Amino acid sequence: MWSKLDTYLYPLRPSAGCPSGTFELDVASGNMAWSDGVFGIHGLSQGEVVPTFELLMAHKHPLDRAG
């Protein structure tokens, strides 16, 4: 399954020099995991903060949060 999924996701991978990252959200528990890229985009380091959905959204433009 993962190889097929990777085939579909490959075109979505960013080009070199483009800041990007991924995160996982467990909807049931609310727990999040961020990649180093997500921490970097927000000017943070792993271990500096506990990743939460609220923290992620706090870094978004108000119009991007209004949806």
pLDDT digits over 10-28, tens only? 555 555 677 788 889 998 9
Question: Residue 50 pLDDT more than 90?
Answer: yes
Distance CA(36)–CA(55), nearest Å, equals 15
pLDDT band at residue 1 under the 50/70/90 scheme: very low
Distance CA(59)–CA(54), nearest Å, equals 9
Question: Which is more confidently placed, 1 or 44?
Answer: 44
Q: Where are the alpha helices (DSSP H) in 1-52?
A: 2-9, 36-41
Question: Which is more confidently placed, 52 or 10?
Answer: 52
Question: Which is more confidently placed, 40 or 14?
Answer: 40
Domain-wise residue ranges, the chain: 20-67
Look at residue 66 in the predicted model and tell me its pLDDT.
77
- Domain 20-67 in CATH 3.30.450.20: yes
Secondary structure of residue 44 in the 3-state scheme: coil
